[in-house]
Amino acid sequence: MSVAGVFVGQLRREFKLLLQSREELANPLIFLFLALTLFALGGGGSPEMLRDFAPAIIWVLVLLANLLALEGLFRRDYDDGSLEMLVLMAEPLFLPVLAKILAHWIYSGLAMTVLAPLAALILFLPAEVLPTLLLTLLVGTPALSLIGAIGAALTVSLRRGGVLLALLVLPLYVPVLIFGAGAVVEAMAGIENMAQIYWLLVITMVALTIAPFLVSAALKISLEQ
Amino acid sequence: MMTTHLLTLSGLACQREGRDLFDDLDYQVAPGDYVELTGPNGSGKSTLLRSIAGLFADYSGAIEAAPLLYVGHRPAVSPLLSPLDNCQWFLDLVGSDADPLPALARVGLAGFEEILCQQLSAGQQRRVALARLILAQRPLWLLDEPLTALDDSGQRLVCQLIEQHVETGGAVVCATHQSLGLSATRALVLGERQSSTAGVVA
């Protein structure tokens, strides 16, 4: 049972670290709500316009907030040497890597999904499409954490990797954005939208299958210098 | 011929920024060996240890190593976790269900188990890394400047741990600037300019 122990042990460590750095934890969520408020204020007091753009605004901000949380995913462990220890000692490496990504998703993607009703309220999104929004976020955000982790692993040894990380990762986020926001737009228009949600599921499943191994390889490359 | 070495380097060569760090280095480490790796700054001590550990791949030649524990410059101790949590994570990682408390007591951290490492001194954080040496159960230790930030009793502790490990059939390769003064030390000197890149003193 030591294989499961590696996963659970890493997850326990991530949660203990998160509890110790709560303000860092809150940053992406604060960003999300500041930006939402600015959109609401800048919308010219026109609920119709805000409503039409709400799916795109919410998804773009979730994307950016996710990116904001990504930089710290491996950075702290890299700085104190724990990442070296992890890469050298973990057998197999993809399990603790998956645990780290899961922790990242819980405090970014899942937290944003939970807070999405508030975002929908601010942007006058009709209540009847809220289930669709929540479903797309729930199915789509794991893909963001999984794909983003590859970029974070590749850039962890660079001092100013932030912009490079965005350049690497944002193009890969585009399909998630298109299907996620698209599903909500179609729900607002009353059109059948299950195809988009299935596509989101496909992206997440493919990412779940490949990303842990790519992240493991990327971490090794980043440390070998 | 049949002695099982814990570490075999054959024809190891590495260049960095156009100069040879080591060239055609052949070396064996057997159970019970304590090897002190010395040489001036920039002579490739850390690079050699990282190559053996598997954290650096830009070399030619072959390295065969037994399961090892590498303790580098950065001690792999998270400042946001307690010594106990740091050790528990390590034990989960290597799939061991040993009890970390006796090891923490042995390195002089009794009473500090639950305090966040960021509130401990640099030397105490190094001691957490030393506790892992006890917990790891690996035959080969690679230590990069293990005396950094340690007080006198900490330095004696490092010597005791190494002696004990060597007596029980383990081996230690230790990069250091100040000799630990242990008996039966083998020396591996890097950076003997040009003549032969690595000189070996028995």
Extents of the domains making up chain B = 31-57+67-183
Give B77's contacts in chain A (Cβ within 8 Å): 80-82
CA distances from B199 to B14, B34, B188, B193 (A): 16, 17, 7, 10
CA atoms of B16 and B12, how far apart (whole Å): 14
pLDDT given at position A127? 92
Structure tokens at A119: 């975002």
Tell me if B75 and A80 make a contact (CB, 8 A cut-off): yes
Structure tokens at B136: 């790891």
pLDDT given at position B195? 41
Structure tokens at A68: 């904001």
Tell me if B85 and A10 make a contact (CB, 8 A cut-off): no
Could you identify the residue written with the tokens 């400047």?
B145
pLDDT given at position B192? 63
Which fold is adopted by the domain B31-57+67-183? Rossmann fold (3.40.50)
Q: So where are chain A's domains?
A: 2-223
In three-state secondary structure terms, A43 is coil
Nearest CA in chain B to A10: B89
Q: What is the pLDDT of residues A75-98, one digit of tens each?
A: 999 999 999 999 999 888 999 999
pTM for this model (two decimals): 0.91
Encode chain A (225 residues) as per-residue pLDDT tens digits. 477 889 999 999 999 999 888 888 888 889 999 999 999 898 877 888 899 999 999 999 999 999 988 988 999 999 999 999 999 998 889 999 999 999 999 989 999 999 999 999 999 999 999 999 999 999 999 999 999 999 999 999 988 888 999 999 999 999 999 999 999 999 999 998 899 999 999 999 999 999 999 999 999 999 987
Which residues does chain B have with pLDDT short of 70? 1-3, 192-202
Give B92's contacts in chain A (Cβ within 8 Å): 5-6, 8-10, 12-13
Structure tokens at A46: 């026109």
Tell me if A9 and B116 make a contact (CB, 8 A cut-off): no
Could you identify the residue written with the tokens 């990282």?
B50
Q: What is the 3-state secondary structure (H, E, C) of A61-104?
A: HHHHHHHHHHCHHHHHHHHHCHHHHHHHHCCCCHHHHHHHHHHH
pLDDT given at position B202? 43
pLDDT given at position A5? 86
Q: What is the pLDDT of residues A112-148, one digit of tens each?
A: 999 999 999 999 999 999 999 999 999 999 999 999 9
